[in-house]
Structure 1
Amino acid sequence: MEAVEWIGTLPFAVAIRRSALLYLFVNAAHILSIGIVVGAILPLDLRLIGFFGKVPVATIGPYLSRAAATGVILAIVTGFCLFSVRPLEYAGNAAFLTKITLLVLGIVNAVLLHLTPQWRAVVKGGPLSWRVRLSALISMAVWTGAVLAGRWIGFLSE
């Protein structure tokens, strides 16, 4: 818990806590980052499970994967900044812990998928395997759950 408490003493944490305007911008950046993640992952997942069959995965897969990865990195950075404002409170918040767990699961799912020969085949125009489709279904559930858990955080902190 000392490490968690220490996070709240970092200069950027103090600055965000002291400035409502800075908090507003960091919070907005976090929301926009989440928008990038969901806006890239959900269309890709829908395509991978069989919707929008005329759209080639070889065309959109690499692009949307990179966009989602960028959004995840930005969301982690901005989320850490928001966490630093009240680290002890968030560390004990069940919704926050659920969100972090789902975030890790979503990242692991994506990394594991991208390491498979099935993914390499589909982005080269090959068929959609059950492994790719299953990963897309898991992804949709996990990332939607992470967004819901994120919204739930505020309700448990009041």
Structure 2
Amino acid sequence: MSGAEVLEWIGALPFAVAIRRSATLYLFANAAHILSIGIIVGAILPLDLRLLGFFGKVPVAVVGPYLSRAAAVGVALAIITGFCLFSVRPVEYAGNPAFLTKITLLSLGIVNAALLHMTPQWRAAVKGGPLSMRVRLSALLSMVIWTGAVLAGRWIGFLLE
């Protein structure tokens, strides 16, 4: 199956057709996507700021695991709701530079978080240990990546028709 055929297949999925035909369903899918992005940003930015040394009285051991899990839930919800929105106009989105930038940044953000969580420096930090340069650099990179993903997401609509 070619890429174009896959995109056409996605656009023909029953839920894609239903969302395309119903302004109300589209509204709910869009609102759910925005709320999931709020969960991501609301979890990741405070965690990244703490890892960079702000809010020093807040223990990383307390907020690190909680905010990481909250961000992961937000990412999962954003992917699900984003796919629903993508399915409405898959051919147009697949050719949209802002969408492609957003997907790339989303992937980089997930990889950055996964790599950080596999390091001994992260495990030490969430046990109350010091915040290593590796942890701090990952937090700074995370802030840049996720902010960029949000900006790219807003840019998508300006490049469609």
TM-score normalised by the shorter chain: which range applies?
over 0.9
Identify the match of residue 55 of structure 1 among 51, 58, 64. Answer: 58
Structure 1 partner of 2:49: 46
The C-alpha deviation readout for 1:112-154, integer Å capped at 9, x for no partner, is 0000000000000000000000000000000000000000000
TM-score normalised by the chain length of structure 2 = 0.98
Partner AA of 1:47 in structure 2: R
- Quick check: 1:121 aligned with 2:131? no
Structure 2 partner of 1:28: 31
What count of residue pairs does the alignment treat as equivalent?
158
Distance across 2 between alignment mates of 1:10 and 1:157: 21
Structure 2 partner of 1:70: 73
Matched position secondary structure for 2:72: helix
Partner AA of 1:36 in structure 2: I
RMSD: 0.4
Structure 1 partner of 2:114: 111
Displacement of 1:17: 0.3
Structure 1: runs of 5+ lacking an equivalent: none
Identify the match of residue 15 of structure 1 among 14, 18, 28. Answer: 18
Displacement of 1:4: 1.2
Partner AA of 2:150 in structure 1: V
Structure 1 partner of 2:145: 142
Structure 1 partner of 2:155: 152
Displacement of 1:111: 0.2
Structure 2: runs of 5+ lacking an equivalent: none
Partner AA of 2:45 in structure 1: L
Matches within 5 A, 1:77-92: 77-92=80-95
Partner AA of 1:52 in structure 2: F
Distance across 2 between alignment mates of 1:141 and 1:70: 20
